[in-house]
Chain A
Amino acid sequence: GNSVTQMEGPVTLSEEAFLTINCTYTATGYPSLFWYVQYPGEGLQLLLKATKADDKGSNKGFEATYRKETTSFHLEKGSVQVSDSAVYFCALIGGGSNYKLTFGKGTLLTVNP
């Protein structure tokens, strides 16, 4: 079946540091890939997505590139802010389903001023 593995946290960075959160996946066919973010006390929000190989999703300064050869979708941001502190989830839809999201376990990011 489908699965998503993302780096375990917590990750603690200083403001303006570079962020990478690794994500790899297992799925048959050509899944769509997503990063969701959960800010403290709030629900899940879609951060960015990519639907085919070599696509780059981007939003709010975050980027992730769909790499089929390495089955990866790593999240990056060049300069994090305190307001980026949240839990980040990598997810996919695919492998025979066009609606069922399979999530990684989440990575807690804390950005200190």
Chain B
Amino acid sequence: GAGVSQSPSNKVTEKGKDVELRCDPISGHTALYWYRQSLGQGLEFLIYFQGNSAPDKSGLPSDRFSAERTGGSVSTLTIQRTQQEDSAVYLCASSLRTGEQYFGPGTRLTVT
């Protein structure tokens, strides 16, 4: 079956612009996670969804970051007014409830 997919695979944007990153989890997976992988900070947890609810947003680095999930499936991570420090690879993962997390290939974001 299909794995976790993310789009776009690469995104280059100018400082100050807004960007949207999309994640399609594995069908039937109720839990969805966003992580960020950057050179300076390594892999960091951003947000966790169970269904359409986000009980844990503790990893979102600032109020410029937001995420939503609709229909218990697709999720969108939005970064407003991007800054250079937002440059990173954004990873999405999904799981059955809180089981093994399956990761997507990531979106590489470059803010110029």
Contact = CB atoms under 8 A, between A and B. Distances in A.
Interface in A74-109: 89, 91, 97-106
A102 B43 CA distance: 8
Interface residues of A, number: 19
A105 B42 CA distance: 5
A69 interface: no
Contacts of A43: 4, 91, 103-106
Contacts of B45: 100-102
Contacts, number: 43
Mostly, the B contact residues are strand
Interface size class of B (residues with CB under 8 A): 20 to 34
Contacts of B33: 99, 101
A52 to B, nearest CB: 16
Contact of A99 (B48, B103, B105): B48
8 contacts: A36-B103, A44-B103, A89-B43, A100-B45, A100-B48, A100-B56, A101-B33, A102-B45
